[in-house]
């Protein structure tokens, strides 16, 4: 069995609950559900939660004290057919960025669904307008993965610029011969101009971690000015074109929105320096991937480091895998053990808070 019940549902209460459910739920919708919803479940039975992957013990233990928990234990993302089958009549959904939550899922869930907690900082996999229209709360995990993602961005930038994967392969396969002055050389950070596209929490932490490498300038592009934070770091705001034309290194930490979709397109890559290193740890959709492939093949930019792509997983026959000037990672930006555990626990805490009628720790307000 891939479907696991981590709590016990009291069937003796089920008939009684079913008889009163419609009236209570109708009233709770009009009152934004929180006080009555919490009181109803504390008196009657545990609310039900469906989790789309097996998460850490700390998160499960917390949920099991308050909820009837069911989760998918398969080796990959929950199949859509399983999600559609098991979301029915659940009161909370604990999902991942691999799960597309749209009107079909919401329709199958029915009126019981009151909160969706996603174990991610991004939420482009959620149909937010449709969820909000149904008065379902959304919780996510901003902040907690900032440090891990910033660390990964710096590591990816260095792996790309200093050709670490190429060098490792040469050492393993006999390519390491007599010393040569410019063998395995790449651009260094000292004296360079570092550009940060997206100067939110992650972008700022990337800039802080790159500063000790002594770049001459750190510039950033952001929709709104971050004057105080930029002054503390020593960063300078520029427009998008200036970021493209002036940067030796570009690290992308943008959210995926209609405005940023394929923002890095053929025109953008054509404006970059030929020695530019491009790193993306945000969302694959902010890049026109075919334009990036062309830019790398034609040496219009020096190299690219990607932790995010379109689609994911990237098919093995994708041209990016054939390019030595492209380093590809399997979307591991937040893959620090402590970070993933904290993300799971935050989702669990948000669900419990919703059932108790308390404010969510990290509610998506957009």
Give residue 45's pLDDT.
Answer: 81
72 within a domain of the structure (yes/no) = yes
Give residue 366's pLDDT.
Answer: 78
Give residue 5's pLDDT.
Answer: 52
151 within a domain of the structure (yes/no) = yes
Give residue 265's pLDDT.
Answer: 99
Q: Are residues 286 and 218 in the same domain?
A: yes
Q: Are residues 186 and 319 in the same domain?
A: yes
Q: Are residues 43 and 130 in the same domain?
A: yes
366 within a domain of the structure (yes/no) = no
Q: Are residues 160 and 283 in the same domain?
A: yes
Q: Are residues 130 and 276 in the same domain?
A: no
Question: Taken in order 194, 200, 205, 211, is the CA torsion positive or negative?
Answer: positive
pTM strictly above 0.85: no
Q: Are residues 160 and 299 in the same domain?
A: yes
Q: Are residues 135 and 150 in the same domain?
A: no
Q: Are residues 321 and 344 in the same domain?
A: no
Q: Are residues 267 and 204 in the same domain?
A: yes
Q: Are residues 135 and 161 in the same domain?
A: no
Regions of the chain where pLDDT drops below 70: 1-44
How many domains does the chain divide into? 2
Q: Are residues 278 and 304 in the same domain?
A: yes
CB 209 within 8 A of CB 150: yes
Residue 294 maps to which CATH number?
A: 3.40.50.720
Q: Are residues 201 and 214 in the same domain?
A: yes
Catalytic residues: 331
Task: Give me the chain's average pLDDT, please.
Answer: 90
User: 228 exposed, middle or buried (CB, 10 Å; 0-12, 13-18, 19+)?
Assistant: exposed
Q: Give the range of the structural domain holding residue 348, as residue numbers without chain letter.
A: 3-144+339-356
Locate all alpha helices (DSSP H) within the chain, ordered by sequence. Answer: 11-30, 34-44, 57-64, 80-86, 103-109, 128-133, 146-161, 164-173, 201-210, 227-233, 240-246, 266-271, 289-297, 337-356
Give residue 40's pLDDT.
Answer: 42
362 within a domain of the structure (yes/no) = no
């Amino acid at each position: 069995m891939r479907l696991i019940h981590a709590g016990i549902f009291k069937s003796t209460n089920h008939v009684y609950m079913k008889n009163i459910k419609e009236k209570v739920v109708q009233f709770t919708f009009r009152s934004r559900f929180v006080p009555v919803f919490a009181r109803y479940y504390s008196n009657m039975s545990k609310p039900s939660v469906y989790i789309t992957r097996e998460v850490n013990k700390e998160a499960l233990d917390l949920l099991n004290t308050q909820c009837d928990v069911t989760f998918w234990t398969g080796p990959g993302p929950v199949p859509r057919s399983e999600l559609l089958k098991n979301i029915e009549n659940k009161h909370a959904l604990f999902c991942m960025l691999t799960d597309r939550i749209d009107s079909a899922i919401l329709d199958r869930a029915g009126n019981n669904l009151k909160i969706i907690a996603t174990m991610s900082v991004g939420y482009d996999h959620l149909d937010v307008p449709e969820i909000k229209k149904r008065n379902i709360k959304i919780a996510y995990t901003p902040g907690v993965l900032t440090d891990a993602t910033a660390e990964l961005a710096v590591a990816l930038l260095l792996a790309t610029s200093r050709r670490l994967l190429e060098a490792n392969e040469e050492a393993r396969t006999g390519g390491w011969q007599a010393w040569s002055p410019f063998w395995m050389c790449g651009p260094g950070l000292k004296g360079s101009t570092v550009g940060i596209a997206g100067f939110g929490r992650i972008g700022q932490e990337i800039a802080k971690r790159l500063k000790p490498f002594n770049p001459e300038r750190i510039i950033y592009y952001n929709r709104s000015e971050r004057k105080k934070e930029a002054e503390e770091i020593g960063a300078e705001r520029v427009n998008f074109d200036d970021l493209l034309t002036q940067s030796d290194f570009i690290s992308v930490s943008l959210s995926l929105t209609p405005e940023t979709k394929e923002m890095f397109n053929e025109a953008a890559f054509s404006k970059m320096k030929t020695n530019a290193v491009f790193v993306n740890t945000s969302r694959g959709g902010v890049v026109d991937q075919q334009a990036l492939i062309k830019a790398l093949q034609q040496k219009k930019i020096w190299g690219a480091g990607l932790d995010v792509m379109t689609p994911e997983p990237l098919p093995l026959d994708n041209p990016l895998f054939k390019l030595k000037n492209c380093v590809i990672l399997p979307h591991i930006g937040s893959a620090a053990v402590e970070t993933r555990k904290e993300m799971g626990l935050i989702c669990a805490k948000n669900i419990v808070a919703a059932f108790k009628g308390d404010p969510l720790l990290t509610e998506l307000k957009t």
